[in-house]
Structure formats: C-alpha cells, structure tokens
Structure 1
C-alpha cells in the first residue's frame, strides 16, 4: 500500500523515474539533432578525449564520496542501469534495422535521417545515453570497490572490463583514421587522399612487390545478339564450366564443354592455346545443340580482357553463346611495410588476413576491377587506432569475468542442490 501511495519523483527513485529521465534525455537528443545536427566525434580528438576521460574518472572518484546519498544509490542502482541498457538496445536495434550511411544527403529530409537513425552512433540520443551509461556503470564500480570483497572478483572483472571497453571504444573513436592507399607494383607509396581530396603523407609506407589473383572458372550463357539479354529473359540460366561435369542446358540448347583452357591466348582467328602469361584469358571449346531442330554449333568462346578480344559462338541469326568474366577466388599482395621509427615488415596480404604493425592495421581492399588479374596496382585500407589495446583489455576482462560468473553461479547451484 505504501508503494502505491508514493508520488512520482519522490526518493527513492525507481523504474518510473528512470524511464522518464532516460526518455527525456533521448527527446533532448532528438531536439539537438534537429537543431544543431549530428554529434561531431572529431571534436573529441586527442588531446580532448584524454582530458574528457580524465574528467570522467575524477568525477567518479569525487562522486563516490556521496555513495550513501539516495541519488547516488539510484544513479548506480538496478532501475537506472536496466533502463539505460534497454535504451541502448533499442538504439542498437534501430542501427541494425536502418541502413547506416557514412554521409547523408543534405537534401534528404525524411524523419529517420533528421532524427539521426541513418547515423545512429553519431546521433545525440546515442551519445547522451552512452555517456550516462559510462557514468552510471562507473559509479556502480566505485561503490562496490569501496566495499571491496575478494569473493566478488568475477563482478569486478566483468564490470570493469565492460567499462574499459565502452570508455576506450567511445572516446577513442575520434582518433581512429581510415585511409585507402593505391600502390603500384614495384613502387613505394606513403600518400593517401583525405575525404576532401587533399593529399596526406602518412608515417607509414608500403612497397608492393607483386599482386596476383586466383579465379573461379567462368560460366557460359546464351544471349540475344542484338540486345545482349541472357536467355531465357524471364529467368536467365548459366552453365558453370566444370570439366568433371561437361554437360548443361540453357533454355532450348544442350551445351557440352569439349575443352577448357584457363590461361589461353588466341592461336589463330578461331582457335586458342594454353600460354601462362599476364594477358591470358579463359577460353572454352563448346558444342551447342538445339533440342528442337537438332542443329549443332561448335566453336571457341572467350571472355577476353584488356589484352585480347572476346569471342562468341553464333547459334543462329538471333542467339549466341558467350563466356562471363571469371570471379576472383583469392587476390593477394606481397608487400613490405616501413614505419617512421625504422621498423620493416614483410607480409602476404589477402582478404581477412590483415597485417598489424604498431597502431596500424592494413587490410587487402581491392584492385583494378577492369584489369582483373592483370591489375598493376593493389588497394589497401589502412586503419589507425591508438586505443585498440585498451579495447582488447576490456574485451579480455569482460570475457574472463563472464566465465567466472558462470562458473561461480554453477558452483553455487551445485552446493544448494547438495544441501537439498
């Protein structure tokens, strides 16, 4: 009965006040988003983020002296924490369901863009909830550390790890830099372009020794000779070139693979031979038979590249057999990396196998798509993140703490079952 008579905003605050306050903070974030635009994280670039980080830590230390205060108890308590986590999850759900854009069109005036849902992590609502979460979690950790208990080690590692992760990932994002560098074979490059197309010189240089690519076998298709439309038009069909399965069907034609050369060079006007050289292109000797008329056509088809022309096999006055461009299976850059402090490292760079050197991570990004395996340059993405080690530390502590919490929980459950 006493709980029902308690008025709103009467201490001790609980879920109603927590929901109202966090909801109000989110509304304030929407208002700021509509009036001043998105939050500019680059304002927190070093040394500003270091100053803000130090201020947060000093605030938490000073605030901990008021830990017996009812406001402190609420601020570091369960109702406020659960409400903040729920708000973060809702914003994360919006982030997952709404396409996120690096840059928004200034003329795009739909409500999702205006409220920051197209760039959730830089919206004022997200930033305000994030800082409140950082302060609330920090206050809880400070309160529990003052009343330190050795048996709560799992709690400390779990919550301190989460706080370090949030702290480093949030404040450190302003110092993260991403660049794409195009390096030509046999050359050393250290320059990139900024978002404003200005040339920047980086404290790291890359020499491309070699770029090579492995390709999947191409496919065969039947197209309309005039329009180039694959057949049948309603649902185009393709035959994957596979010497173990040489037969296939496309619409009204039976296709048979007689011979396939992955690295082929034209030997005459209508034949090919195998030659392993940069200008080589896939070619296949194909036999096509019309199921209805029984007419048969045999000849070479080639997808061609920048070094040699393609070749088609005419079936009649309307249709012909063509070969698609092969898709990349694996592309690799053999590189040497040099840093300003004299470090040198060799690496074989490929997709999902980046190189980590100092605070830089180098990823295989792309190549000349038109030239394909004949590309004479490789594109690499360079990511500079000086806060990555605190992030790793937070993740490790969080993981260890979570495992310890599960272990201690299972141990406690087992003990209770033994007592029963």
Structure 2
C-alpha cells in the first residue's frame, strides 16, 4: 500500500501544479461520447487488468486512504471562495483513482465463487454507477439562468460558469409573477405563470413555484429569484433551467445502493 500511496500522492501533487499553471480541469473535453467511452474503458481495464495491478490497489487500506485524501481536499477547498471543487485537477485525479479502486473491488468479489455477497456487490456497484454519473456525467450537465419580464418571450439562457449564452429548444413567456404571504407578511411562496412554446409552436401554460420545479421534456425549470427591491410588484422573474442527461443513471445507482443496504440489513448486517 505504501508504494501505491506514494504514487497517488505524486499524481495529486502534479494535479496541484496543473491547477496553478493551467487553472481548473477542462471538463468540456470529456463530454459525451468521450465520458461514456472512458467509463467503459475504466470498467474493462479494471476487470481485465493485470494481476499485479489489481493486487496493488485492491486493499481496504488503499480504499480508506483514497477516501481520506478526498475528504481532506474537500475540507481545504471548502474554505476557498469561488472554488469549483469538482473541476480541480487534484479532485479529478483522486476521483479517478476511487473509480478504479471501486471497479476492482467489485471484480475481485465476483471472482469469489460460492460466496454469498449480493449486498456487498449491490452497494459497491450502486456507488460506482452513482460516482460515474455524478463525475464523468457532470460535463454534460447544462445549468442556465434567464431573466424574463412580464409579457416578454425569451429563448436564450445564460451559463454563469462559462459566461456563454445558449439557445433553448423552446420559448418561455412570463405571463404573470406573484407572491403569496403568510398572515405575518413573511413570504410563503413566489410563482411564475409561464407559457412554454416548443419548436412545433405548441404552447401550454404552467405555474412554476419556488421549491416546486417544472419538468418540461428533458429540462427542470426552477423559480430562482425576482426583483427583491419591488417585491410583490416585481415585473420580472429569474428562472433556473437544468438539463442532466446522466440523472437517470444516478438514480439507478442510488436505487442499487439502497437495495444492497436493505439486503444487508435483512441478512443481519452480513455482506
């Protein structure tokens, strides 16, 4: 484990240097289908990789070391303002090692015939799928913001991270913005009545409330903000639009993970 730990730490140090010299890891380089291919290659190499490689990283100590390393990075970066943790080189490198370690742990357990380890496999497989979807899949996630005035139609969203403007596959018209209050005049909810028109000119009205997003096609639309100075008299709304094609895979991973947890509980805590 000592040799592998030194190797990982060396890779992380290289990542720190790259972070300083070139900035954040360019996530746009691993958009689909590159991230999908990387996921497949990772799984194939982990299952079919050499015996020496598997023995080097397949150990509980190595797994704990990687988790602690990742935890330390998150804690350190959490104190840094405006730092995108998941896009930093050290984080990406550590994340990759964790994926390799998880895949090898699963493949090694599969080779142990006759051992009842269904809960162990489900938990680790679910975690691996979830991490792949959340990490490699994050490069395909689109998160846009748009400000729309009452009576105005908007089709372009703004990406705050990249500073780019994207054209949406549908048009949003803000028909009305309203705020609901509790008897003590504290805000209960704020809502946007919108009309969505797709490329086929089919229009339909929807009500978007705070904490109650609208699912429209492959997009989630959230009521994000409004004119705070004018309050109930606000004439515009700020909407957040999110499209994550890997979200379904993430939920699959979560479901498999919990299935494993339930199975382990049913078996009295035995893997």
Flag whether TM exceeds 0.5 (same fold): yes
Determine whether 1:371 maps to 2:230. yes
Q: After superposition, where does 1:13-412 map in structure 2 within 5 Å?
A: 14=1, 16-63=2-49, 66=50, 69-96=51-78, 98-101=79-82, 118-149=83-114, 151-195=116-160, 199-215=165-181, 328-340=187-199, 346-410=205-269
1:278 is matched with: none
Deviation string 1:270-298 (CA, Å, 9 cap, x unpaired) is: xxxxxxxxxxxxxxxxxxxxxxxxxxxxx
**Pair 132,343 (structure 1): closer, same or farther in 2 beyond 3 Å:** farther
SS of the residue 1:162 aligns to: helix
Deviation string 1:151-203 (CA, Å, 9 cap, x unpaired) is: 21111110010000111111111111111122233343222235576653211
Deviation at 1:351, TM superposition (A): 1.6
Does structure 2 retain, via aligned residues, the 8 Å contact 1:22–1:83?
Answer: no
Does structure 1 retain, via aligned residues, the 8 Å contact 2:46–2:54?
Answer: no
Higher RCO, Cα 8 Å, sep 6+: 2
**Pair 341,391 (structure 1): closer, same or farther in 2 beyond 3 Å:** farther
Does structure 1 retain, via aligned residues, the 8 Å contact 2:146–2:240?
Answer: yes
Does structure 1 retain, via aligned residues, the 8 Å contact 2:133–2:249?
Answer: yes
How far, CA to CA, are the matches of 2:191 and 2:167 in structure 1?
A: 25
How far, CA to CA, are the matches of 2:71 and 2:7 in structure 1?
A: 17
**Structure 2: runs of 5 or more not aligned:** none
Q: How many residues align?
A: 269
Deviation string 1:30-75 (CA, Å, 9 cap, x unpaired) is: 1222232221112112232223223223322431xx3xx2441231
Larger-gyration structure (1/2): 1
**Structure 1: runs of 5 or more not aligned:** 1-13, 102-117, 218-241, 243-325, 413-420
Deviation at 1:327, TM superposition (A): 5.7
Does structure 1 retain, via aligned residues, the 8 Å contact 2:106–2:121?
Answer: yes
